[in-house]
Amino acid sequence: MGTLDNLLLFLHSWLRWIILILLAVGIFNSLAKMQQPLSSVAKKMNLWLMIAAHITLLIGIYQYFFGPKGFVFFRTMGAATVMKDPALRFWAVEHITGMIIAIVLITLTKGVAKKDIAPSKKNKKLLLFYILALIIILASIPWPGRFGDVPLFRGV
């Protein structure tokens, strides 16, 4: 694997933590300040969450089509084999599908944040999207031991 691929894998792995932290902050903020309009800090955090998610998406698309885990499994082994093997299916189907759904939810929160509606209504909507995205992301991360030795904290 080349230096660029290593750097992208490093970024993709660490952006997970940024996304998880920003989601947790968003959830906490909407819960704690349900009746208040979004602060400028909360809006900035929401923007950074979307930026982090979109960078992860772009890196992931590259890795999926050009890396060792992903579409290559369909190309070399065929769909029937891939769908029968939990690890192959995870990389070829489940990770990309789950994460894209979560990133769509995160992207939708940007519009919700801008909407001219009552604060409690806005915070409830944000909470719903954030919590759904969080659950899907937690379920779609290759946590250590699930599919081989993917590290929690990848070195360069």
Cβ atoms of 142 and 85 closer than 8 Å: no
26 binds ligand HEM (CB under 6 A): no
88 binds ligand HEM (CB under 6 A): no
60 binds ligand HEM (CB under 6 A): yes
Give me 23's structure tokens: 């989601």
Angle (CA) 65-86-156 rounded to 5° is 50
- Indicate which single residue of 37, 68, 86, 111 sits in contact with ligand HEM (rule: CB under 6 A): 68
- Least spacing, CB of residue 8 vs ligand HEM, in Å: 8
* DSSP helix/strand/coil, 2: coil
100 binds ligand HEM (CB under 6 A): yes
**How far is Cα 148 from Cα 118, in angstroms, rounded to an integer?**
47
Cβ atoms of 12 and 59 closer than 8 Å: yes
Task: Write down the residue that tokens 């923007």 correspond to.
Answer: 47
- Indicate which single residue of 2, 145, 148, 151 sits in contact with ligand HEM (rule: CB under 6 A): 151
**Which stretches of the chain bind ligand HEM, using CB under 6 A?**
9, 12-13, 16, 19, 53, 56-57, 60-61, 63-64, 67-70, 95-96, 99-100, 102-103, 137, 141-142, 150-151, 154
